[in-house]
Amino acid sequence: MDKQAKIYVAGHRGLVGSALIRELHRQGYTNIVVKTHAELDLINQEAVNAFFMVEKPDYVFLSAAKVGGIGANSTYPAEFIYQNLMITTNIIHAAYKNNVKKLLFLGSSCIYPKMAEQPIKEESLLTGALESTNEAYALAKITGIKMCQAYNQQYGTKYISVMPTNLYGINDNFDLETSHVFPALIRKFHQAKINNEPIVTIWGTGAPIREFLFVDDLAEACIYLMNTYEEDKIVNIGTGVGVTIKELAESIMQVVGYKGELVFDTSKPDGTPIKINDVSYLNSLGWKAKVSLLDGIKRTYEWYKSKS
Ligand SMILES: NC(=O)C1=CN([C@@H]2O[C@H](COP(=O)(O)OP(=O)(O)OC[C@H]3O[C@@H](n4cnc5c(N)ncnc54)[C@H](OP(=O)(O)O)[C@@H]3O)[C@@H](O)[C@H]2O)C=CC1
Ligand SMILES: C[C@H]1O[C@H](OP(=O)(O)OP(=O)(O)OC[C@H]2O[C@@H](n3cnc4c(=O)[nH]c(N)nc43)[C@H](O)[C@@H]2O)[C@@H](O)[C@@H](O)C1=O
């Protein structure tokens, strides 16, 4: 991408989209196009087509999606499959029709089979049954991957797909019902500390293992791949390091300075028992995560306090 290229970041107010905008600006990209959800509903095919015809972006980061944690995914599977299929197909097809030079599709590590061998290699895709709590969302994301590959095969486009692990950072969703575990725990421990509450409740057993990547690292990796990568093969993005939910809770508790007790609500689902991306392919392409989990927790908590 040259620095004047027209770049459309879909979902620019979200966790990933806003990190992409920060990193693009930091690297000196000057011609970035954005539209809020209210200005352009990406589910509306006509509106998406009209937008692409007028703007004719050179590059597209497809970071708009209906996103949520285990609670939201389990409760609203119809919204997750419908909205994500519509957003994905509308944007990819409009990109093709309007000669977009390159598009980067954001998938997720939840597209891999529930019992995939760990750490999860890109080759595990479609080798087994999916985790039931996010099957609808994962199927929409798998469709996005396959659509990019089909368009590359038939039309010679250059659409690449990345599979980030669980992300966290600035501009995350901190709603306790719909968020992912990381922002939920930041908020729960912060509130419990301020209100002198004796216990904080964690969903599930605390035993599941997840890998957490600071979103600024993810943004850097996406821009790096947009500039250097042209293969059909999907690319995992992560740290390659897993922690249990209990360990994550203890680390966040320490940073927040909360001294109470952890209680585990086992009526809530654990989801996938373990999910760690194999990042050897990404490393071989020349990129590695930089921000440690502890540093990322501190940076996110500082930002959260400044906003609350
Ligand atoms: N968060 C995570 O842990 C992970 C995320 N990813 C992927 O990264 C991508 C971005 O996720 P993330 O940033 O966390 O999600 P967010 O929910 O933070 O951001 C999504 C953005 O998309 C916008 N959006 C959603 N629906 C529409 C629509 N119909 N029309 C226009 N805009 C819309 C939202 O706007 P509004 O809020 O106004 O609706 C929001 O700005 C997704 O593809 C997700 O699958 C992958 C792995 C992990
Ligand atoms: C990124 C990924 O995110 C989703 O999958 P997930 O990794 O299971 O997401 P999660 O962050 O919501 O939970 C991780 C673990 O943490 C536990 N947990 C404890 N306490 C809270 C809590 O307070 N809130 C939440 N949400 N979880 C909690 C929770 O029970 C689970 O064991 C996918 O739906 C899918 O959309 C996807 O792509």
Output the tens digit of pLDDT for each of the chain's 308 residues. Answer: 999 999 999 999 999 999 999 999 999 999 999 999 999 999 999 999 999 999 999 999 999 999 999 999 999 999 999 999 999 999 999 999 999 999 999 999 999 999 999 999 999 999 999 999 999 999 999 999 999 999 999 999 999 999 999 999 999 999 999 999 999 999 999 999 999 999 999 999 999 999 999 999 999 999 999 999 999 999 999 999 999 999 999 999 999 999 999 999 999 999 999 999 999 999 999 999 999 999 999 999 999 999 98
In this structure, the strands spanning 199-203 and 209-210 are: unpaired
Class of domain 7-171+212-239+276-292: alpha beta
Q: Is the dihedral of CA 249, 253, 254, 256 positive or negative?
A: positive
For the CA of 164, the nearest atom of ligand 1: 47
Domain ranges of the chain: 7-171+212-239+276-292
DSSP β-bridge partners for residue 35: none
Residue whose CA lies nearest to ligand 2 atom number 34: 70
Ligand with the closest atom to the CA of 88: 1
Taking the mean position of all CA atoms in its chain, how far away is CA 225?
A: 16
Nearest Cα residue to 95 out of 45, 64, 140, 60: 60
Q: Is the CB of 66 under 6 A from ligand 1?
A: yes
User: Would you call 137 a catalytic residue per the annotation?
Assistant: yes
Q: What is the pTM of this model?
A: 0.98
Pocket test for ligand 1, best of 34, 63, 217 (most atoms within 8 A of CB): 63
